[in-house]
Structure 1
Amino acid sequence: MKDRLEQLKATCDHDDEDVEIAVDNAAFMDEFFSQIEDIRNSIDKIDVNVAEVKKLYSVILSAPTSDQKTQDDLEALTNDIKKMANNARNKLKTIERNLEMEEVERVSADLRIRKSQHAVLSRKFVDVMTKYNEAQVDFREKSKGRIQRQLEITGKTTTDEELEEMLEGGNTAVFTAGIVDSGISKQALNEIEARHKDIVRLESSIKELHDMFVDIAMLVESQGNMVDNIEVNVGKAVDHVEAAKAETKKAVRYQSKARKKKIILVVIGVVVLIIIILIVVLTQYVKTNAPPPAPVAPPFISTHQWETTLLEP
């Protein structure tokens, strides 16, 4: 009896451990999905800010010189993007390290879920940062084109290589040397200097984000097959949903037609039943109310026939 009691206690303790592990795992997954949601919100906010940056780039390029407010707004957005991008990148790297450590120890269903979530968010992050980088490069090229046109107005022709060397030097005097006394307008000179400052600030921002961008891009490249498989599976799921919707619509149409046919058959059956009832009722009524038959007169016998009948023995 004592041994049995000890066995039951051991079993209960084991069950308690299983429950505790399940509860801890559920709490861990809740925390993980909370992190994922934070990263997703940061990426979405970066995407919104990139759209605003593009608008400010257009404003700057459309004006001879950009006003201070526009520059301040652009700088604030750039700093905001940089801050959120670093935050998202650090969280993604932390999750990546944790996944690598767990993968060595064990492979479970929740581990696969977390790897998929991490891969999808990493790809999304790279897509947004690629969009931002493309906007920066486009703005740089257009600003460089404006500088080149202004220099051509002064009669100072420069090649792309020479202009790149000037831009990388970071010295505004290189642009204005020899053209201050050439009759160039103050406005044109100011635009050259303003465009140069824009490019210098832009170069600094691009360099700051370069390492982070390359780091995450390499991670996504290594996860390429996983992300592609996820996208394929999502595409298949969407196709299945669309097919199911189409089949559901067909089923509804068929069910509606069947219901109409059933109603028509019921109506026909009711009408036939009513007709039969009317026939029976009318038949009974006719039989009940029919007049009695007229009395039949006795056959007429002549006197001769009567006498003959009486004389017969």
Structure 2
Amino acid sequence: MRNLLTVCTAAVLASCCLCVSLACGFPSSLLVSRMGSWFAFALKIKAVRDSFELGKREQAPGNVDIELGLQGDLTSSAQPGFEGFYEQVKEIENLLNTLTKLLKDLQNSNEESKVVTKASAMKEVKKRMEKDVNEVTKIARLAKSKAEQLNKDNAANREKPGFGKGSGVDRSRTTTTVALTKKLRERILEFQTLREEIQKEYRDVVERRVFTVTGERADEETIDKLIETGDGEQIFQRAIQEQGRGRVLDTLQEIQERHDTVKEIERKLLDLQQIFLDLAVLVEAHGEMLDNIETQVTGAVEHIQTGTNLLQKAKKLQKNSRKWTCIGIIILLIIILIVILSLKPWSWGLYLLVSWEIDNTEAVVSEQAEGRISCIIALTILLILANKRKLLDLQQVSRTPLFIPVQGEMLDNIEMW
């Protein structure tokens, strides 16, 4: 649309200039050549501008870090101030993903344990859950040590010139480190939540088992004692006497296995509590800095959004103004063309040419007339002078008496002449 308006405007301008030049008597060939030169120059300017804009578009904005001035597709080892940083971040992220997978496995095992009624099946569930919990503890400690090492590397990097506290590199490293530490802390908190759920569900399962075996609902003290010790033989003493030891033994073993499993998981998951507290301290150490960074990031996002809206609005206004400007130019050129056609200036040129020819003719005629009059006057003067000379000669002759008759005859001839 923009190119079409430009071409139309140029065509109308060229037409108007051609009409005006013809009306004023300018050579059309010279005008056409000049217009061709101008048009070629305009095309060159447009080509240079288009190539410049294309070069800017070819620069991928997503690959440039505006704050740091770094190309996003470069490796961390090639970025000043980030040597080995992103590799460490990637390792911590992998550990977080592993913790997420283990959390889901533990949740599934816990759901499976709710429907298990045999001691052998409970042993299998216990074995899997203990293995997963051991892996969780190991990975959580490793992730914590890597997060602490990353924090130490950030402190060491601040000692380097150009990467001090508050610099773009330091803000980026600190934000990433604190974000990873928070994620690790949240993941460990999810394991703590799972531990509490296992304890609550274990109590519910024990209550159901007691009710199933005895047919009576046990009081809170009895359930607490059974959960604490896992020894249900005294509680089920009456059921053993009524139903026999063999029928109640499986339930007793299943409750004991469940008790052992819950206690082991609780003990190992409590180890994560210390890791959780250490990570909380690590986050609090950077709490003020993080809040400041988050505030700056939030403000930057708001400013960027506001700037984007303003740029879009300005672009829209510019587009509308360009459109109306082109329309105004076209209307103005049409008005000028109508005025030129109504005044017919080319007829003025013909009239001026005829007037000039007439004036030239009159001047020539007047000059010729003046020349003829001058010739007549000159001839008259010459004749007068000639006659005067002849009269003088006759006077001299008249003074001689011998030639009176001849003089009389000459006088007669002169009078006749």
- Same topology, TM > 0.5: yes
Q: What is the total number of aligned residue pairs between the two structures?
A: 267
Question: Separation in 2 of the partners of 1:28 and 1:199?
Answer: 52
One-letter code of the match for 2:318? A
Contact 1:175 1:192 in 2 (8 A): no
The equivalent residue for 1:47 is 100
The equivalent residue for 2:113 is 60
Contact 1:147 1:195 in 2 (8 A): yes
Q: 1:96 aligns with which of 123, 148, 159?
A: 148
The equivalent residue for 2:280 is 220
Contact 2:175 2:290 in 1 (8 A): yes
How has the CA–CA distance of structure 1 residues 279 and 97 changed in structure 2, closer, same or farther, with 3 Å as cutoff?
A: closer
Q: What runs of 5+ residues in structure 1 fail to find an aligned partner? A: 1-23, 291-313
The equivalent residue for 1:234 is 294
Partner deviation per Cα, 1:237-288 (whole Å, 9 max, x = no partner): 1453144224312321232123112211221221221221132134217947
How has the CA–CA distance of structure 1 residues 152 and 69 changed in structure 2, closer, same or farther, with 3 Å as cutoff?
A: closer
Q: 2:195 aligns with which of 119, 123, 136?
A: 136
The equivalent residue for 2:206 is 147
Contact 1:53 1:77 in 2 (8 A): yes
Q: 2:180 aligns with which of 112, 121, 142?
A: 121
Contact 1:148 1:163 in 2 (8 A): yes
How has the CA–CA distance of structure 1 residues 120 and 266 changed in structure 2, closer, same or farther, with 3 Å as cutoff?
A: closer
Q: Could you state the TM-score of these two structures normalised by the residue count of structure 2?
A: 0.51
Contact 1:39 1:91 in 2 (8 A): yes
Q: 1:245 aligns with which of 305, 310, 332?
A: 305
Question: Separation in 2 of the partners of 1:185 and 1:273?
Answer: 112
Question: Separation in 2 of the partners of 1:141 and 1:258?
Answer: 66
Q: What runs of 5+ residues in structure 2 fail to find an aligned partner? A: 1-76, 352-417
User: How high is the sequence identity, in percent, across the aligned residues?
Assistant: 11
Partner deviation per Cα, 1:69-93 (whole Å, 9 max, x = no partner): 8975775465245325423413533
**Offset, 1:43:** 1.6
The equivalent residue for 1:257 is 317
Question: Separation in 1 of the partners of 2:336 and 2:78?
Answer: 73
How has the CA–CA distance of structure 1 residues 253 and 103 changed in structure 2, closer, same or farther, with 3 Å as cutoff?
A: closer
Partner deviation per Cα, 1:49-78 (whole Å, 9 max, x = no partner): 3134324423432x3537978975775465
* Structure 2 counterpart SS, 1:65: coil
**Offset, 1:132:** 1.3
How has the CA–CA distance of structure 1 residues 133 and 189 changed in structure 2, closer, same or farther, with 3 Å as cutoff?
A: farther
The equivalent residue for 2:139 is 87
Question: Separation in 1 of the partners of 2:267 and 2:92?
Answer: 23
The equivalent residue for 1:208 is 268
Question: Separation in 1 of the partners of 2:141 and 2:207?
Answer: 37
Deviates more, 1:31-40 or 1:71-80: 71-80
Question: Separation in 1 of the partners of 2:85 and 2:211?
Answer: 58
Question: Separation in 2 of the partners of 1:26 and 1:273?
Answer: 58
CA RMSD of aligned residues (A): 4.4
Q: Could you state the TM-score of these two structures normalised by the residue count of structure 1?
A: 0.65
